[in-house]
Structure 1
Amino acid sequence: MRFNSLKSLGIFSSLGFLLVAGILSADAGDLGMKSLPPQQSVQISQNNLGPVSGQWRIAIEVTAHTNPEVSTQPNYWLLTSLEQNGIELSGQILDASQSACTDAEISGTVEGNQVNWIMHYTGSCCRGGMMKFEGVMVSPTTIEGTLVPVGSSPPNCTLWSANVVASYGNYYYK
């Protein structure tokens, strides 16, 4: 009996094809595997990404003071840590130049490119004082706006109105 290699190859190829086709047509249950649950699609928007989260150095160009005894209008900077969760914004002041108060909590909102917050001073410096920031995110690393006092200043506290430019980055602080 002669071995016909072409005929044998055809039979083995056909059997291999049937085996592979059977495996591919079986669902996960036939193979003893659990099928995956249906996946829900997730849409990512600017509010999901939290573009304001991180450290921001806020350059403050003072335009007016709440205390008439202050004769100069120096410029300050504040280093903040902000966290965005949806449209909600929270944070704190990490460091500041000159004699600016650092004991403050920040709360606000981010809606589209509008960034707004209130700084509530909580420490011995300006306790009870509040400053309101209203700004626009002009790029992923820059927010521009104004900072103004809210209500009356506590005794022995000088708050200011200012033009503000906030820059995103990884900053060193004490």
Structure 2
Amino acid sequence: MDRRKFVLGIGSLAAGGAAAMGTGAFSSAQINDRAVEASVVNDNSALLRLNPSVSQHATQSGGKLKVSIQDLSQDSEYTFKQLFRIHNDGGNNPVEISASMSGGLSSAVNDARAYGPHVVDGTSLISDSVTIAPGEYVDVGATVVTTDGVGSFDGGGDWAFTIHADEA
């Protein structure tokens, strides 16, 4: 037998055997009963840190960020560019930030926008998102409208601001 034909035959046999037996990779796995440790910290100490110190309107209360805007005139529109800061302290991964609002005053709080050196100033966090790299931050602002029919601050009210963060 010719040596070249023998080597070709052995190679074909090996390739056919691997195809028939599979590659050894798995397509699914279930691994149970593993320990997971997590700690819960205040907003200003978390991996995605919410920092109230950039604004007179934000405080830390019960470990959570709280924004309080007082003494607005009726039939007015106010824009606040720095209500609080979101800082990415989460290791090596960039984070995509967006937001949603709900509550009684969400119609009066017109939009939440991003400001800072690492984003396009004024990008809407409600209809769009921004990406911040590790160690970077974005300041979050809002426009508040007190015009009749849009929203009313008579007697105060609440709105919830939810931050959505996904690995970019």
Question: Scaled by the length of structure 2, what TM-score is found?
Answer: 0.31
Greater RCO (Cα-Cα under 8 Å, separation 6 or more):
2
Structure of greater Rg: 1
Structure with greater proportional strand content = 1
